[in-house]
């Protein structure tokens, strides 16, 4: 008996684009849908997928050169694999 071949032709229909893009938030994988999103949507997806952050946390993208840049809630983010983010509690020293 031959093993069943999974050549992608059967079932699932059209598949590869709906898997999403996996990014990292606070060292945890978060799957995002689409090609573009916002800082607020990244935080919301992370919270929904079990990352222990709050919507008011400050989101930073970790850049390859070792620096980071703050991503505002309404800032557009072009999704691609291996993006890394850190979400930290905002300073409230008022």
Q: What are phi and psi of 70, to 5 degrees?
A: -75, 135
User: Does residue 12 register a pLDDT over 50?
Assistant: no
Residue (of 26, 24, 90) closest to 58 by Cα position: 90
Classified as helix, coil or strand, 18 is helix
User: Does residue 67 register a pLDDT over 80?
Assistant: yes
Q: What is the pLDDT of residue 93?
A: 64
* Least-confidence region, from 15-29, 40-54, 77-91: 15-29
CA atoms within 13 A on the CB side of 1: 2
Which domains, and CATH codes, for the chain? 19-86 (3.10.20)
Share of the chain above pLDDT 70, in %: 78
User: Does residue 73 register a pLDDT over 70?
Assistant: yes
The pLDDT of 37-54, averaged and rounded, is: 98
* Local confidence band at 9 (pLDDT 50, 70, 90 cut-offs): very low
Q: What is the pLDDT of residue 19?
A: 78
């Amino acid at each position: 008996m031959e093993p069943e071949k999974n050549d992608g032709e059967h079932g699932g229909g059209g598949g590869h684009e709906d898997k999403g893009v996996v990014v990292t938030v606070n060292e945890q994988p978060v799957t995002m849908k689409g090609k573009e999103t916002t800082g607020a949507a990244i935080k919301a997806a992370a919270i929904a997928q079990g990352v222990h952050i709050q919507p008011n946390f400050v989101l930073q993208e970790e850049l390859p050169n070792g620096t980071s840049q703050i991503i505002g809630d309404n800032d557009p983010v072009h999704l691609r694999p291996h993006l890394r983010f850190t979400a930290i509690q905002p300073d409230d020293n008022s």
